Each structure stands twice: as C-alpha cells, then as structure tokens.
Amino acid sequence: MSDFQSAKDLVRRHHEAIARADSETIAAALAKYTAPDWHWRGMHPFHEQFGAETVAATFWGPFISAMTRLQRRPDIFMAGLNELDGLKSVWVVSMGHLMGLFDRPWLGIRPSGKIAMMRYAEFDRVEAGRIVETAMFFDIPQVMIQAGQNPFPPQTGAYLVQPGPVTHEGLMHGPQDPAEGRATIAAINAMLDDMRTTDRSKGGEGLAEELARTWNDDMIWWGPAGIGATYTIPRYVRQHSGPFRETLSKGYQFNGHICRMAEGHFGGFFGWPNLTVVNSGGFMGLPASPNPADMRVVDLYREEGGKLTENWVFIDVLNFLNMQGLDVLARMEGM
C-alpha cells in the first residue's frame, strides 16, 4: 500500500504542476516528475513521443494555448499492479475531463469561445520516484462536436459530456481494500475470457446471453464521440456491440494489452493497439475499406456484485479512420 500511495502522490503533484503551467513553462513542469527518457503515448496525430520537451512542444503547449484557464476534472483515480507483467510494475490511472475556454484554434478546429470538455484517460507507470511511461488517451472528436464541427454521420449511441461513476467513489486517493480490487480484476478477466470463447454464429440473441454472464443488466457503456453511449444490455447489443461484430469481424486480430489493473471497485486496461480489424462497411456509418486498421483502446470498468456495470471506453478513432484513408483533421480546414 505504501508503494501505491507514493505513486499516487507523485502523479497528483504531476497533475498539479501541469495545472499551474502555461505554454512557456509546461516543459519544465512536465520534466519535474518524469524520467528524462519518458515514453508518452498520445492519440492521433501525436502518437508516441519521448521526453518532456517533446511532449510539451507536441501536445501540451498547443493545447494549453488553445484552452484558456484549463482545468482537470477527474472522476476516477486509482493505482495498482500490472497483472500482465507478473504484478511487477505500478501504474496510476486517472480519468475524467480536461476543461477550458476554447479561445484559439487547435488541430484545425475553429474555437468556439465557450467551455470545451475533452474526455481523457491517463495511465502512468511509476518507477523509482518518476513517471517513466504514460498512455494519454483523449477524445478529440468530442471537442469538434462541441465546437459545432461534427465530422461524423449520426452515431448509434447518445452523444454526451459523460459523467463519472454513479456511486461517486472513483477518486481513490488513499488505500483501498485489496479484496475489492481482486474481485474487480476477476470480473474483468471473466468478461475477456467469455469474449474469446463465445459462439458468434448465434447473432444478437447469443450476444445478449453472453453479456448477461458477466455484466449487470443495467450496464452503461460510455463510448467515444462518433459511437456514443448506450444503456442496458439490449440497447448495447443494438447500438454498439452488435454493429461492431457485424462490420468488424473480417480480419479481426486481438493484439493484447500493455497494462491491466484494478483497485477497489474499478479497473481496466489499455493496448497499443488492442485490435486490428477490417471495416466491411457500415461501422460508424462509414463505407467499407480494404485496409486493416488498428484500434488503440482504453476500457475502464466499475464492478458491482461480481459483475461489470459501467464501462468508459476510449478509442483512437482518428487513427483508426486515418488508417482507412480518411484524414478527419485535414477535412477540418474545409468545414
């Protein structure tokens, strides 16, 4: 527990340093708590970067310049051991929104002069008192939609500025009961095992039966902009998981995860990429593409009664579409 607490405190100081920085001081703020060869993963068009100076110049500096009075509004904060490396590495996870006044252009998106909220999920690996590795997932299309520049056809789920857990217990700044974390990771792994062994020939009815084994019926799937959120198993089957399986099953390849962990009633994972798929037509209302495309994904979960009941999902949608030949950011200039 003491290792988790020191790692949590370090990441909170890191976040506070970012909050106090401006575009001129952000590089020094990032360097304060990160290793010199810090490995940072970000969404398209940022991808992988190394070192505080590069991360500041590539992502944080321009973003802070665009968003006046930027603040972080976390809904989940937790730490745990990565079960994928034999419980050797400590990771701290934060999820919520980055909020500011969208006053200057960013990535070709025209500013609205209004509040903009961008969903984020951040995995930080802490070692020897430094952040040595970060996966920073954020929902750029959410900013586009809020600024009135929606690049997508109508989505199957609901577009929302998404709330945190209904129990409001996601901010775990202090120690938690280890038994709760073990129950959560067991629920996550049961769901993953079910996905690997399911009979996909049964269609939507079989999918609903499968989900009921590891999910509560009042599940909420908080998906990314372009797909949206959906509530209850039947609507999730109709509005996301069914279309996903129907249109992305060709060439489906699971590439694995980099980190999978849990603390308390919350847990999750990320991959880089998790999946490689071929869009056979219709997914996100888009035409078919022959190009295999990667899905970099974060899934964060809330466990209740031994099953999963809330799921926050982040997908690098812009990279997924770019690999199919659709450069959404380039189109922003003409909107």
- Give the angle subtended at the CA of 44 by the CAs of 96 and 325, to the nearest 5°: 135
Q: How far is CA 79 from CA 57, 89, 122, in A?
A: 28, 11, 11
For the chain, what are the domain ranges? 2-146, 178-332
pTM of the model: 0.95
* Identical fold between 2-146 and 178-332: yes
Tell me the C-alpha distance between 141 and 316, whole Å.
10
Q: 181: closest CA among 311, 82, 298, 95?
A: 82
- Give the helix/strand (H/E) hosting 134: strand 130-138
Residue range 258-302, pLDDT digits in tens: 999 999 999 999 999 999 999 988 888 888 889 999 999 999 999
Q: What is the CATH number of domain 2-146?
A: 3.10.450.50
Average pLDDT over residues 120-140: 98
Residue range 195-212, pLDDT digits in tens: 876 665 666 778 899 999
Phi, psi of 230, rounded to the nearest 5 degrees: -150, 155
pLDDT at 305 over 50: yes
Bond from prior residue into 45 cis (ω within 30 degrees of 0): yes
DSSP symbol at 171: B
- Would you call 285 helix, strand, or coil by DSSP? helix
pLDDT for res 49: 98
Model confidence at 90, pLDDT cuts 50, 70, 90, reads: very high
Residue type, 293: A
At the top level of CATH, the class of 178-332 is alpha beta
